[in-house]
Amino acid sequence: MEPFGRGGGGGGGRGRGRRSQSISRVVVGNEQCGRGRGSEEKKQEQCERGRGSEEKKQEQCGRGRGSEEKKQEQCGRGRGSEEKKQEQCERGRGSEEKKQEQCGRGRGSEEKKQEQCGRGRGSEEKKQPQNSSPDSRSDSDSVGMGMAKLNIGDDVDKPSAAAAASAAVGEGGFDICHRKQPGSVVLKPPLLAQNRERRKSRSSNNNGIGLSLRPGMVFLKGYLSLSDQQKIVERCRELGVGVGGFYQPGYGEGTKMHLKMMCLGKNWDPHTSQYGERRPFDGAKPPHIPPEFQTLVTNALRDSNALVPQNRLPSISPDICIVNFYSQTGRLGLHQDKDESEDSLRRGLPVVSFSIGDSAQFLYGDHRDPDKAEKLQLESGDVLIFGGPSRNVFHGVSAIHPNSAPNLLLQQTNLRPGRLNLTFRQY
């Protein structure tokens, strides 16, 4: 019985050992399975992390694509603005071409106007000789003290002379008269006003007003008739726009005088204060003094001696005439006319001055100081003569009074605002 018991016991121990080994194997297997599961979880976690990093990469890629799309959008906008700029540039070019085209049309219309203006002048010149009559040509008023009637510049209205003057204006000469525009209408003053102004002119002439300002200086108030003034303006205009006509003189170093000047007979050079036969800057020869101007000077000296016998002056044969046109801002400082020959100055041959247009404030005296000078208002039609003991008197023009010219003179001549002054002398 005992052996059976041991054997049974031994068999049981073996069975227990096998069970324990089985259990250990299960535990080990489970442990290995747990470890496998842990590594699997780690793999899954790493996989999740990889997926997260992949998603981040994709998100960053999406952002990059978004920024790229924004860049492309901005680029498209830039291209659009560039296209708009080009379109605006094209529009600007088109408007510029339109402006140039309109400018060309304007030039063409201006040329047509000038051509029509030339035709209108030609027809007007043709009409003038036909409309002239003996009564209109003899409209000059006689001056008191036995002065004969004077017809100044009867040949001014000849078509050839007017055509030459118009051509000279186109060459850039200074015109003392406004050019009439084609189609312009000039309103004439009432007949009553015209007659009043004519009576005023005749009255001053017939009264023979002569004043002795000082020894050798005589003032003839309103001596030139309105008709004489008109013809003087027309003749000076004709000569002034031609060869040797009006220009702006200067004293040198760029200093310009405040007037336009034209010399007749001989040229006077402000730079050298000498007379010559031609102008140095362009070689032009001064026009001749019209004979009717010389007749006016002779008659003025004769009437001056008759009106003021106590202040007699010698007669002259003028071979020099300086014609100055002062604008409304023009002036001339105090100076002496002493560039003539020694014989002329020694004999005291007088200077005869005609005033036409706006009035001027005239200064004269024995000194160059304006504060010590005497003042005299010279109006249109006045004549001033100084010679003998007053031959070297200082004189000048300090101011021009605007809008003071006779209205009838302006309407008949279209004279520019300003004063026309002619001074005659004998070299």
> Which domain CATH number covers 167?
2.60.120.590
Residues 218 and 79 in one domain: no
Domain boundary among 75, 109, 131: 131
Q: H or E element: which one contains 12?
A: helix 2-131
Check residues 51 and 426 and name the one with the higher pLDDT.
426
pLDDT value for 93? 57
Check residues 384 and 202 and name the one with the higher pLDDT.
384
Q: What rounded mean pLDDT belongs to the chain?
A: 74
Q: H or E element: which one contains 361?
A: strand 359-365
Q: How far apart are alpha carbons 293 and 425 in whole angstroms? A: 12
Secondary-structure breakdown of the chain: helix, strand, coil percentages, each rounded to the nearest 5: 50, 20, 30
What total number of domains does the chain contain? 2
Domain boundary among 64, 98, 131: 131
If you count them, how many residues does the chain have? 427
Q: Are strands 250-252 and 255-256 parallel, antiparallel or unpaired?
A: antiparallel
Alpha helices in 132-189 (DSSP H): 134-137, 159-170
Residues 53 and 168 in one domain: no
- For the chain, state the CA radius of gyration: 54
Q: How far apart are alpha carbons 261 and 240 in whole angstroms? A: 9
- Is residue 3 a part of any domain in this protein? no
pLDDT value for 254? 75
Domain span at residue 127 reads 38-131
pLDDT value for 27? 42
Helix 191-207 with 226-240: angle, nearest 10 deg: 100
- Residue 72, exposed/middle/buried by CB under 10 A (0-12, 13-18, 19+)? exposed
Residues 91 and 224 in one domain: no
Q: How confident is the model at residue 270 (pLDDT cuts 50, 70, 90)?
A: very high
Residues 267 and 412 in one domain: yes
Residues 151 and 235 in one domain: yes
Q: How far apart are alpha carbons 201 and 413 in whole angstroms? A: 17
Structure letter (DSSP) for residue 392: T
Domain boundary among 85, 108, 131: 131
Residues 249 and 118 in one domain: no
Check residues 415 and 191 and name the one with the higher pLDDT.
415
pLDDT value for 372? 96
Structure confidence by residue, pLDDT tens digits, 323-366:
999 999 999 999 999 999 999 999 999 999 999 999 999 999 99
Q: Range with the lowest mean pLDDT among 16-30, 88-102, 297-311, 315-329?
A: 16-30
Structure confidence by residue, pLDDT tens digits, 32-60:
545 545 555 565 656 456 565 555 655 55
pLDDT value for 209? 86
Residues 150 and 176 in one domain: yes
Q: How far apart are alpha carbons 69 and 205 in whole angstroms? A: 100
- Is residue 4 a part of any domain in this protein? no
Q: How far apart are alpha carbons 68 and 45 in whole angstroms? A: 33
Q: How far apart are alpha carbons 220 and 218 in whole angstroms? A: 7
Q: Which two tokens stand for residue 156?
A: 């001014």
Residues 295 and 412 in one domain: yes
CB 155 within 8 A of CB 161: yes
Residues 212 and 268 in one domain: yes
3-state secondary structure of 209: coil
In 3D space, the residue among 419, 368, 407 whose CA is nearest the CA of residue 186 turns out to be: 407
Q: Which two tokens stand for residue 360?
A: 């001027």
In 3D space, the residue among 261, 296, 302 whose CA is nearest the CA of residue 153 turns out to be: 296
- Is residue 137 a part of any domain in this protein? no
Residues 391 and 315 in one domain: yes
pLDDT (average), residues 385-391: 97
CB 420 within 8 A of CB 356: yes
pLDDT value for 255? 82
Structure confidence by residue, pLDDT tens digits, 91-123:
655 555 555 555 455 555 555 545 554 454 444
pLDDT > 90: what percent of the chain? 50
- Is residue 31 a part of any domain in this protein? no
pLDDT value for 98? 57
Check residues 250 and 211 and name the one with the higher pLDDT.
211
- Is residue 79 a part of any domain in this protein? yes
Residues 267 and 401 in one domain: yes
- Is residue 126 a part of any domain in this protein? yes
Residues 191 and 227 in one domain: yes
Strand partners, 318: none
